[in-house]
Amino acid sequence: PVLLVLSLVPNIIHNFKIRESEKRFDRYQFLMDSLTQAGFVSMSAPLPAADTSKSTSPPKSRNTVKIDFLEADSVTLQIVPGIGPAMASRIVKFRDGMGGLHSADQLLDVFGMKPETFENIWEYFDFSPQDVKKIPINEAQVEEISAHPYFSYGEAKVLVAFRNQHGKFQTKDDLLKIKIFRPEWVEKVAPYLDFR
């Protein structure tokens, strides 16, 4: 009986891989159909047949139109190899929480973003910098500042306390007077601050 079971294991594994590959292809096909219906993808040729002998990722269609990254929702982002539901949700939450992205490289700040996944994104999406929502740094309170992904509650609290004690910030360089803030961090947050 043990030898019989052992002899069947390779067949079971092979059949399992085929079923998993077919499921992945079906999910891919469903996603592509959804995108086509939404007007994001132009399909001029049928999708390639699933190759069950290899590959665990869905095939790329050469007939896709790049989508504006800033308009992509979490479902659309999942067409990128390496982005599942959790990562797609984190990307959208980060993008929306930022109040706009001025650089595509900011996506590398998303928790769990791998460089190869970051590169894959641009095969499917176009990025154009946008005007970002600025925080009125001389008026905003701790809660408003800490709602931004680049600020922790503690950093916001220190910033407001310093402002209350020393007066308004005139430029980003004034933030460096707060000894806990590093110059690279100040450069990173500066595009999101309004010093008026």
pLDDT > 70 in the chain, percent: 68
Predicted pLDDT of residue 66 = 86
Task: Render pLDDT for 54-79 as a digit per residue (tens, 0 to 9).
Answer: 434 444 555 667 888 888 899 999 99
pTM: 0.60
Q: Model confidence over 77-107: pLDDT tens digits?
A: 999 999 999 999 999 999 888 888 888 899 9
Domain ranges of the chain: 1-45, 66-132, 135-194
* pLDDT at residue 51 in the model: 45
Per-residue confidence (pLDDT) for residue 145, from 0 to 100: 95
Task: Please check whether the domain covering 66-132 is classified as CATH 3.90.650.10.
Answer: no
Distance of CA 76 to the CA centre of its chain: 11
How confident is the model at residue 64, as a pLDDT? 66
